[in-house]
């Protein structure tokens, strides 16, 4: 890069010399610039300028250009890194959103399955309770029927014994109205006693 500055140095020196000569001519009027000493000053200025340009071109400008180039590279790398980070963040955000959507679907499916299982369990429990109640009713009816049949049989047995006793008593003695009432009362008492025993 500094070679370009060295190539431009002669042009800069010539331009500087011309400017100095024109300035000296305008200041001195008709005097010769060489005789007036302005030419020497112009040469010194051009040489000083050339040295400054040469020193800047050799020592300063490479470091300045390198620093600018490093800065440009750093900015470019930072922008590329930021772009990569943003793309990675967008990619992860999409992955997280997909995972959240999947988790919501799974949670909804689990809740729906739990609701179905709960409904099946409720129906099964209701059916089991109905079957148990029906079985209890059948058993109770059977037990009531057995108890009724037993009571009827006992009643027939008691009635038969009472009738036999009553007939025997009637045959043994002739009853008047008061004896007949007393006999009926005794029969009722005997039935009450038998019922209390059973």
Cβ-count burial of 180 within 10 angstroms (0-12 exposed, 13-18 middle, 19+ buried)? exposed
CA angle 27, 46, 55 (to 5 degrees): 150
Q: Where are the domains of the chain?
A: 2-88, 142-197
Instruction: Count the helix, strand and coil residues of the chain and give each as a percent rounded to the nearest 5.
Output: 95, 0, 5
Residue 47 confidence (pLDDT): 85
Q: In this structure, what is the dihedral angle of CA atoms 86, 87, 89, 92, given to the nearest 10 degrees?
A: 180
pTM of the model: 0.36
Return the DSSP state at 173. Answer: S
pLDDT tens for each residue of the chain, 198 residues long: 444 544 555 555 556 656 665 555 555 544 554 455 577 787 888 888 888 888 877 888 888 888 999 999 999 999 999 999 999 999 999 999 999 999 999 989 999 888 888 888 889 988 888 898 888 988 888 888 888 888 877 776 676 667 656 666 665 655 556 665 676 677 667 766 765 665
Cβ-count burial of 2 within 10 angstroms (0-12 exposed, 13-18 middle, 19+ buried)? middle
């Amino acid at each position: 890069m500094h070679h370009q500055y060295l190539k431009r140095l002669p042009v800069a020196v010539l331009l500087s010399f011309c400017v100095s000569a024109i300035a000296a001519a305008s200041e001195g009027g008709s005097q010769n610039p060489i005789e007036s000493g302005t030419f020497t000053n112009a040469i010194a200025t051009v040489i000083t300028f050339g040295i400054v340009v040469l020193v800047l071109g050799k020592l300063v400008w490479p470091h300045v250009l390198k620093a600018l180039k490093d800065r440009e590279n750093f900015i470019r790398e930072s922008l590329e890194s930021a772009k990569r980070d943003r793309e990675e963040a967008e990619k992860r955000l999409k992955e997280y959103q997909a995972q959240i959507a999947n988790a919501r679907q799974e949670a909804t499916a689990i809740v729906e399955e739990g609701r179905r299982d709960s409904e099946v369990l409720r129906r099964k429990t209701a059916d089991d309770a109905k079957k148990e109640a029906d079985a209890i009713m059948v058993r109770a009816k059977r037990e009531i029927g057995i108890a009724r049949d037993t009571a009827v049989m006992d009643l027939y047995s008691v009635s038969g014994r009472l009738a036999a006793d009553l007939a025997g008593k009637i045959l043994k003695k002739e009853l008047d109205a008061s004896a007949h009432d007393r006999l009926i009362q005794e029969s009722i008492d005997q039935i009450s006693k038998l019922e209390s025993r059973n």
